[in-house]
Structure 1
Amino acid sequence: MTTVALPAPTAGARPLADTMIMVRRSLLRAVRYPGLTAFLVLGPLVALLLFVYVFGGAFGAGVAPGVAPGAEARSAYLEYIAPTLLILTIVGGAQSVAISAAMDASSGIMARFKTMAISSGSVLSGQVVGFVLQALAAAVLVLAAALAIGYRPGADPLDWLALLGLFLLLGIALNWLCVGMGLNAKSVETASNTPMLLMLLPFLGSGFVPVETMPAGVRWFAEYQPFTPIIETARSLLAGAALETTTTALAFGWCVVIGVAGYVWSRVLYRRERN
C-alpha cells in the first residue's frame, strides 16, 4: 500500500491542498503498482501493431474506397484507427482508477481517510486527477508510436488544443464513472472487470470500421452510443478537418452527462460507505 504524508488535523479542510496530496499519492501508486501503468500503454500499442500490420491491409480498403489492399491500405487504416486507440488509452486509465478505488475501499485506507481532517472530496478527486494525468501521458506515448510507424496528423495548434480539451473532459468523465464502479464493486476483481464494458463500446461504434458497413440494428446502436461522436470528433481534429456541429456537440455533451452522473454516483457511494 502506498503511503503519503497527510496533513495534520486542522480546524478547516483545505480542498485544493488536500486534493494535490491525493494526486501525488495516485501518481506514486503508479510506481508501486507498475502493472496498472503498463496496462495503459501496452494494450493500445499491441492493438496499434495488430490492427495496422495484420488487419490494416484489408480493413484500409474498406475505410478508404478506391485504395487497393496492401501498404497503401495500411497507411489509410492507420490514419483511421489512431484516434480510436488514443480514446481507448483514456478508457484504460479509467479502468485503472476503478481498481484503485476498490483497493482503497477493501483495504480500509478509505475509511481511515474519512476519520482525518481533510476535505472529503479530495479523496476521490485526487484519484480522478491522478489517473487522468497518467492516461494523458500514456496517450502521448501511443501517439508517438503511431507517428513512428507513419501516422501524419494534419491538426494545427488550435486543433491540438481542442483535442486536449476533449481528452481531458473525457478522462474526467470516465474516471468519475469508474470510481463509482470501483466503490460499488464487491471485490477488486469485480472492479477490474466491470469497466471492460466501456472498452467494448468503441468496437460497437465507428472506432474500427465505418458504421455504414454494419447491419441496421447494430448500425442504429453504433450511431447513437456515446463513443461514436467522441471518436469522430477526435478523428476530425487530428485530421485538421472541419468539425461537424451536431457530432461535436454530442461528443462534448456525452462527456458532460457521463461526468456528472459518475460524480453524483461516486459521491453517493462514498457517503453511504462513510455512514
Structure 2
Amino acid sequence: MSLRPILETRAAQPTMEGAGVHLHRAFGFQDPSELDPFLLFDDFRNDHPELYAQGFPWHPHRGIETITYVLAGSVEHGDSLGNTGQLGAGDVQWMTAGSGILHQEMPTGNINGQMHGFQLWGNLPGSQKMCAPRYQDVQGKEIPEVTDDDGTRVKVIVGEFWGKRGPVDGIAADPQYLDIAVPAGIRKTFRIDTYRRAFAYVFEGQAAFADASAPQGVLLEKEVAGQEVNIRDMSGDRTLVRFGTGDEITVQAGPEGVRFLLISGAPIQEPVAWHGPIVMNTQAELQKAFAELRNGTFIKPAH
C-alpha cells in the first residue's frame, strides 16, 4: 500500500453566485486539469436567508454533470424539460446537462433559517458532451451508511465502499463520493483507487491528514504501511485537501471528531474550453453553444 502525498491544503474562498447567493468555493474556474475530472466545488452554507434566498434563477448548462448534496434546508428545482422537484436534508441530485439544459435552483432554509449543501461539477468526455440530459434524484433514506467498530460512519453516495454501493450510477467520471465522520481521536485509513484523482473537503470539526511526502510535521505514533509518515497541521472547517497518487489516505480526527467528503474520479485528460456554465473541448464548440443560446436552438429535441 502507498499513502497519497498531500499536494495542497487550502481554505475555500467566499464568493457570490446566482442572484446573490453567498457561498464558499473550494476550487473552480482556474486550472481544470488540477482535479480532472472535477471542475468546481461549492459549499453553500448560511444561517441568514437574505444571503441565499434569491437562489440560482434560470441558467444554462452544457457538457458537464452536477451533483448537489443537501445537508440542511431544501432546494427546489425546475428545468426546461418540465422536471420539477425538491431536495431535502440528506438528499442528492445528479444532473447530466449533456447537450444542454436550462434550470433553476432555489434554496430554502430549515425552521431555524439554516441552509447547507454542496455542489460539485464533473466534466463530460467529448463523446458524451452532447448526450441527452437526465436527472437522478435520490432521497437520503436510499443512501447506504456503514458504521465501523470504532464509530466511524461512511455514507456511500456514489461508487462502492466497504461492501456498499451508492444509489447514483452511470456517471461518466466513475466517481466515488463519500461522506465520512470519524470520532474524536480516532485514526483511520481509507482506500482509494490508485488511478483516480482525489480530494477531501472538511466541513465539521478538525483532522490531520497523513502526508507521505512532507518532511515537516508531527510523526504518527506508529508507521503506516511500513513507512514513516508525517501528519500536517490540523485542517478545520471549509478546508480542501488535494492528494497526489497512491492507494490510501490516513486521517487523525481532532478532539471534536471530524466530518469530511472524500471524492475521487477517473481523469478524462481532454482539452477543456470553459466559459461560465458551459464546458466543451474546443473554443469553436464553446462559441457554437453560446450562439445557440442566443438564437434559441440551445435545447435539443428528445431523441
Q: Determine which structure has the larger strand proportion and give its number.
A: 2
Q: Same fold (TM over 0.5)?
A: no
TM-score (ref. length: structure 2): 0.22
Q: Determine which structure has the larger helix proportion and give its number.
A: 1
